[in-house]
Chain A
Amino acid sequence: MTSKAIIQVKNLVAGYGDDIILDRISFEVYEGEIFGILGGSGCGKSTLLKHLIGLLNPLSGQIIIDGEDSTLCDETAFKQIIRKFGVLYQSAALLGSLTIAENVALPIKEFTDLPPPSIENLVKMKLSLVHLEGYENYLPSEVSGGMQKRAGLARAMALNPKILFFDEPSAGLDPIISAELDQLIKQINKNQGTTMVIVTHELMSIFQVAERVILLDKLSKGILEEGEPHYLKEHSRNAFVKQFFNRLIEPAA
C-alpha cells in the first residue's frame, strides 16, 4: 500500500506509574486500511488503544494522528484531533437514558448546524447503514448486545470520521452477528475509505477483515511481529506468533 500514514506511533512508552506496559513501540497505520492490534490477555492492547484515542498520556514518545501530535498539542487542537476519529467501545457505551436515535443524533446535534428534521433523516440513514431500521425509539437496555454494538457503530460514524477505533468488536457476540459486524466494517471501509483500527484477540475476525496487524508481546513489552495475518500464520519464524495464529496450546516448534 502506497498511502500515507494516518497514525504514526513513535517510541511510545506507556504504563501506569512505575509499571511499564509498552516499551518504546513504533508503528504506522496507513490511510484507508484495516489495521489489527493483537496480543494475548494483559499484553497492553487496551492500554495502547487508550493512548491512541487520548484517554491516557504516554510516559514518553509520540502519537501523530493525521499529521498532528496528540501528545503535545493544547486542548483546542486536541478537540480538533478527536473529531477525526470515532470509537466503538467494547460495551458499545451507549447512553442508557437516551434512545438509540438520540444516541446517534447526539454528536450530530452538537457539532453541525443541521436543522432538527434533517438530523432525524440523517439518523435514519445512519441506522439503516447498520441495519437498525425500526429500532430508533428503543432504549439501549431494550435491544440485544449485537444491536447495541451496531448502534454504537452508527454513533461512532455519526460525523463520518477519518478513523474508526474498535475495542474488541466481537466480544460477547455470537459468530453470526460477529461475522455480520465484520462485514459491516469491511463495507464501510470500502465505501467510505475510513481507516479502521481494531483491537481484538478474535482470530476469525482478524483473518476476515484485517489487512495488516501488529502482535504485542507481554514479556518484551514490544511488538513481536507486524504484517499480513495470513502470511504471519504460515511464515512467521517466531514460535509465539505461530502459536497465537494457529491456536496452539504449546509453543510451535
Chain B
Amino acid sequence: MNNQNASPISDYHITEDGAERVTLSLSGGMDVTNAARLIELFSSWIKARRPQALIVDLQGVHYLDDFGALVLLELKYLMDEGQRTFEIRNARPEIEPLIHFEGLEKRAPLIKNRPPGVPVRMGAAAIRIGADIKYMVSFIGSVFLALLYTCRHPRSLRRDDTLYYMQKTGVDAVPIVGLISFLLGVIIAFMSAAQLRQFSANHLVAMLVGMGMVKELGPIMTAIIVAGRSGSAFAAEIGTMRISDEIDALFTMGFDPTRFLVVPKIIASVVVVPLLTLFSDLFGILGGLFIGISMLDLTAGAYLTETIRSITLGDVLVSYVKSLVFAFLIAWIGCLRGFQVRGGAAAVGQATTSAVVSSIFLTIVADAVFAVIQRYW
C-alpha cells in the first residue's frame, strides 16, 4: 500500500434491504483529502435514517490511511450509541490492521486537566509565595557572600563583563532616559504653569520642576526604565542559560554561578544607575527651563537661580542613594527571576515579565520606605 496511489473516494452505494439493514459500499481512496467530507455526509445520513444495522463494504477501497479509518470509527461510534449493529466487510489485507481500533472501542474524550478548585489554588499560591520568599532570602544571602568575596578578592571580578553591563545598562540608556526626563520636565512645567500663572507665581515653576525631578521623579523614572530595559534582559539571559544547562555547566566547572553571573550585573548597575539618575534630574530641569523660557517669560538665569535655591546638595545625595538602592533591587530581582526559571521557552517569558513587575513594585516600596525615613530623620 502506498499513499502515492491515494485518490479521493470515487463512489459510494447505499443499498437497503428489508429489516432496516443498510449496506454502504465504498470504492476509491479514503484519506486526509476526503475524511472530513465523508464523516459529515455519512453521519448526517445515519442520524436522519437511523438504520438498525450498517454494513460497510470496503471491497472497492484500494487505499485507506488513518484518516480513512477515522471515518469508519466515527460511523461505528454513531451506530454503537443507539446500540445498533455495525460491521466492516471485505477489507483488503493491507487495510485490515488499520481498522481494528484497538483501545478506541468506546468514544472517550481526552480528559483535559481540569483547573483545581479555589481552596486548592489558594493553598498552592500560599505555598508558592512562601517558597518564593525563602528562595529570595537565600538568594540575597548568596549575593552578599559573592559580593563580599569580590570585595576581598577584587581580581576575581569579571571586569570585561562588568564593563559590558555598564555600557548596556548605563551608556545605552542615556538617550531614552534623557528624552523621557526632558519630556517629564516639560509636562510638569506646562501643567503647573497654567495654575501658577493665576497667582503670578511663574517663577515657582522652576522650584516645582527641580524638587519634583530630583526628589522623586528622577530616581523613580530611571528605575522604571532600567527595570524595563535591563532587569528584563538579566532575567531572560540567565533564564535561557538555565534551560540550556549552561548554569549547571558553570557549576560543574567549579564556578560559583552567582559570582560569575550576578556580581558583574549588580556592580555595573549600582555604579551606572545613580549616574543615569543625575542625568535624568538634569534633563528634567532642562525640560522645565525650555517651557520657562519659551512660555513663561523667564530668563535662563532666573530659572536656574530659582532651581539652585530650591534644591540642596542633600536632596541630590538622597536622590543618588535612592537610585543606588533601586539599582541593586532591579539587578538582584532580575537575576533571581532568571535563576528561578524551570521548563521551557514560556518560563523565560514569565521570568522576564515577573522581573519587570517585581522590580518596579520593590522600587516603589523602597521609595515609600525612603519617604518615611526622610520624614523622621
Query: A residues near B, CB below 8 A?
Result: 31-32, 96-97, 101, 112-115, 117-118, 120-126, 128-129, 133, 136-137, 139-141, 159-160, 162, 191-194
Contact = CB atoms under 8 A, between A and B. Distances in A.
A115 B40 CA distance: 9
Given A113-B36, A117-B109, A122-B67, 20 more contacts: A31-B2, A96-B345, A96-B346, A97-B344, A97-B345, A112-B36, A114-B35, A115-B36, A115-B39, A118-B36, A120-B110, A122-B66, A123-B110, A124-B110, A128-B103, A136-B110, A140-B344, A160-B66, A192-B65, A193-B2
A60 B103 CA distance: 51
A162 B344 CA distance: 31
Interface string B28-39: 000110011101
A125 B36 contact: no
B39 A193 contact: no
B226 to A, nearest CB: 29
Given A115-B39, A122-B70, A141-B343, A160 B65 contact: yes
A121 B104 contact: yes
B74 A118 contact: yes
B340 to A, nearest CB: 15
Nearest to B74: A118
A114 B36 contact: yes
Q: Most A CB atoms within 10 A — which of B32, B112, B113, B346?
A: B32
B253 interface: no
A148 B369 CA distance: 50
17 contacts: A96-B344, A97-B346, A101-B110, A113-B37, A114-B70, A117-B109, A121-B70, A122-B66, A122-B67, A122-B70, A124-B103, A139-B343, A141-B344, A160-B3, A160-B66, A162-B4, A192-B1
B1 A118 contact: no
B104 A32 contact: no
Interface string B48-72: 0000000000000000011101100
B interface, size bucket: 20 to 34
B112 A160 contact: no
B66 A129 contact: yes
Contact of B112 (A129, A137, A191): A137
Nearest to B71: A118
Contacts of A192: 1-3, 65
Contact of A137 (B2, B113, B344, B345): B113
A182 to B, nearest CB: 20
A193 B74 contact: no
Given A124-B103, A125-B66, A191-B1, A137 B111 contact: yes
Nearest to A113: B36
Contacts of B81: none
Contacts of A124: 103-104, 110
B193 interface: no
A96 B349 CA distance: 12
Contacts of B32: 112, 159-160
Contacts of A194: 3
Contact of B39 (A96, A114, A125, A126): A114
A145 to B, nearest CB: 13
B17 interface: no
The 9 closest A-B pairs by CB, nearest first: A96-B344, A193-B2, A113-B36, A97-B346, A114-B36, A141-B343, A125-B66, A122-B70, A120-B110
B107 interface: yes
Contacts of B1: 191-193
Contacts of A137: 110-113
B210 to A, nearest CB: 49
A96 B343 contact: yes
Interface string B1-45: 111100000000000000000000000000110011101100000
A160 B344 contact: no
Contacts of A117: 107, 109
B73 interface: yes
Given A114-B36, A125-B66, A160 B31 contact: yes
A118 B39 contact: yes
A2 B343 CA distance: 48
Q: Most B CB atoms within 10 A — which of A118, A120, A194?
A: A118
Contacts of B297: none
Contacts of B112: 137
A127 B129 CA distance: 37
Contacts of B111: 137
A97 B346 CA distance: 7
A167 to B, nearest CB: 18
Contacts of A31: 2, 4
Nearest to A116: B109
Contacts of B102: 128
Q: Most A CB atoms within 10 A — which of B3, B111, B346?
A: B3
Contacts of A159: 32
Given A115-B39, A137-B111, A160 B343 contact: no
B346 A121 contact: no
B237 to A, nearest CB: 19
B143 to A, nearest CB: 28
Contacts of B69: 125
Nearest to B113: A137
A39 B107 CA distance: 48
Contacts of B39: 114-115, 118
A114 B73 CA distance: 13
A64 to B, nearest CB: 16
B109 A120 contact: yes
Contacts of A123: 110
